[in-house]
Amino acid sequence: MSADVILGIETSCDETAAAVVARATDVRSNVVSSQVEIHAKYGGVVPEVASRAHVETIMPVVEEALSVSGLTSDGIDAVAATHGPGLVGALLVGVSAAKAIAMVWDVPFVAVNHLEAHLYAAFLEEPDLEMPLVIVLVSGGHTMLILMEDHLRYRVLGATVDDAAGEAFDKVARFMDLGYPGGPVIDRLSADGDPDAIAFPRAMANDGWNFSFSGVKTAVVNHVRKNPGVAVEDVAASFQEAVADVLVAKARRAAREFGATGLCLAGGVAANSRLRDKMASAAAADGLRAFLPSRAMCTDNAAMVAAAGWWRLRADGPSSLAVGADPSLRLPVT
Ligand code: KG4
Ligand code: ZN
């Protein structure tokens, strides 16, 4: 049996998402129901609230994904769901739904690693992406520098030693009362600010492969406290510039050191305009290919889960129905 068409399900954080994707490249539907408005009044994701919202939304979202795809259950060959990392209660909703649907439809269940799914977002839109590839995976929960040597084969070169890049965006935005999530707001405000207005620190830019973003966050807080009249746009643009500079500097150094042919962005922060521009220019200057997945594929979605599920199913076969949610799952490394 060739398992070509995968129903993907994603509920690891605050998006309830389902998608139908054929052969990890052909997106037939991609439905995302965001809980952002529900959590915004608390200034961040409230796990218990997220789980309840997933329970209410999961089946309508799955039905919509199926209906938009134009397929019936007969056309689905396997059901893939994110089983970690993420919020345990949120993950359980997607995993339980996926297992139940797989059993009823009598098709395989595939447990997908959320980080691997973010990496496969790039391949959805550019199936012939050449490897080895340096991927900067930057989300609300993770910041990793990854060398992808072949399909499903990764080396984690470095990771953040404190805050994730997205977490720094969210915390800086919260401190400045800009709302949640912070990344998109800071991105928008930065368009009217001067990125060179304030010289925020670029921690560890030229040494090693790890990252640290708690220093730049504290520097923003200190600067705003000392200069209460400072233009918010200049703070946003200068902070964003500092974060993007570090991410791009490490990516291009890693590409040189490990002989990668391209640079790639993944995860929610990869939607950032300045980071995308800088990564594209760096790649062009160094003779590398740059791949920047569309913004909708950078933030949490289920098309990337279906894509990663397709590759995993081919390599490892179906997952056992005994596989549960694993909130601290790591990227499988070679
Ligand atoms: O990948 P994602 O949707 O969820 C996780 O797996 O964490 O990433 C969410 C993170 C949040 O921290 C959000 O502020 C950030 O991605 N983000 C951005 C932008 N859009 C989302 N950060 C900077 N600029 C953006 N345009
Ligand atoms: Zn994510």
Tens of pLDDT, residue by residue over 203-235, are: 998 889 999 999 999 999 999 999 999 999 999
Residue 2 is predicted with a pLDDT of: 64
Residues 9 and 108 in one domain: yes
Does 266 lie in the same domain as 217? yes
Q: Is 272 in the pocket of ligand 1 (CB under 6 A)?
A: yes
With the C-alpha atoms ordered 138, 260, 149, 305, is the resulting torsion angle positive or negative? Answer: positive
Please tell me if the CB atom of residue 35 comes closer than 6 angstroms to any atom of ligand 1: no
Residue 325: inside a domain: no
Ligand 1 close to Cβ of residue 268 (< 6 A) = yes
Give yes or no: residues 214 and 279 share one domain: yes
Q: How many CB atoms lie within 10 A of CB 188?
A: 13
CATH of the domain at 195: 3.30.420.40
Spatial distance between the Cα atoms of 236 and 165, rounded to a whole number of angstroms: 14
Do both 102 and 151 map to the same domain? no
Instruction: Say if 331 falls within a structural domain.
Output: no
Domain shared by 137 and 254, yes or no = yes
Same domain, yes or no, for 288 and 260?
yes
Q: Is it the case that residue 1 has pLDDT exceeding 50?
A: no
The whole domain housing 87 covers 5-119+300-316
Ligand 2 centroid to residue 241 C-alpha, Å: 22
- Is 285 within a domain? yes
Q: Please name the residue whose Cα sits nearest to atom 1 of ligand 1.
A: 268
In a domain, 101, yes or no: yes
Q: Judge whether residue 67 has pLDDT over 70.
A: yes
Tens of pLDDT along 241-275? 999 999 999 999 999 999 999 999 999 999 999 99
- The Å distance, Cα 220 to ligand 2 centre, comes to 25
- Centre of ligand 2 to C-alpha 67, Å, is 25
Q: Are 329 and 84 in contact (CB under 8 A)?
A: yes
- Our count of domains for the chain comes to 2
Q: What is the pTM of this model?
A: 0.95
- Helices 182-190 and 232-258, interaxial angle, to 10°? 100
Instruction: Answer yes or no: do 212 and 68 share one domain.
Output: no
